[in-house]
Structure 1
């Protein structure tokens, strides 16, 4: 059971995360500094025994990266509908957590995600289709949505997703 002091400290740390997130949304501060501060606060929360902090940390970092990229590459958003856009499925190593996303540069995107997920990420598959196909996959697996573009899939659903990506890739060839 947390003491009054522990609860106050936890509330303060969570409040700091909220402040960082709002600052990132308003494009304040440097990206690397903001992401580093999120990691420090998440570490403090873990030290206080808060469970599943990795999800809070990952979701905040992803939102911060997304906002940063969107603010700087607004013109690139239109390209995500382009034929060169890949829909990708990535999985956190040793966890049933899958990310369904779209990108025009898979290597860059995987590096960005690797910075957010300390356990590591593996690409399960890619297929053409842009944001339209990505949105269809999000709808298909919405019951398993964990946060943002992350899905906690049981084995049968993970297999179905892998088959769908494989089929979409084969249909394009």
Structure 2
């Protein structure tokens, strides 16, 4: 029941309410990837970049395709709305490197190349131990995805 309520809040773009329920439901040992996917978006929207980055890093280490294979329209994913929200200055209170991290996370849902671009900008702006690993994971997924797609074409 609570998960359905969290999903309703998420779809209504009431990210604070959705986040509270999703965090309460989250299994700390074996979190559900789709809960992490939503928690990333909620936390970015709320300006809780460190929390979002923790969820993000945890998810991409185990299953990056949950993010890279997002169907923005079919899933009613708010990533483009949140990108616009950030670019309109709604998170200007945050350090520039945090805004770059936020954009890097969001763009992984819809544009892998822009995601790497913003993570690189974040790392240049304020080096962070976690960011190089995130970039490495994303770039590795690009390479392996290209190989998979190429082998499918050859078949």
**TM norm. shorter chain > 0.5:** no
Larger-gyration structure (1/2) = 1
Q: Name the TM-score, length of structure 2 as normaliser.
A: 0.30
Which structure is higher in strand share? 1
More contact order relative to length (CA 8 Å, sep ≥ 6): 1
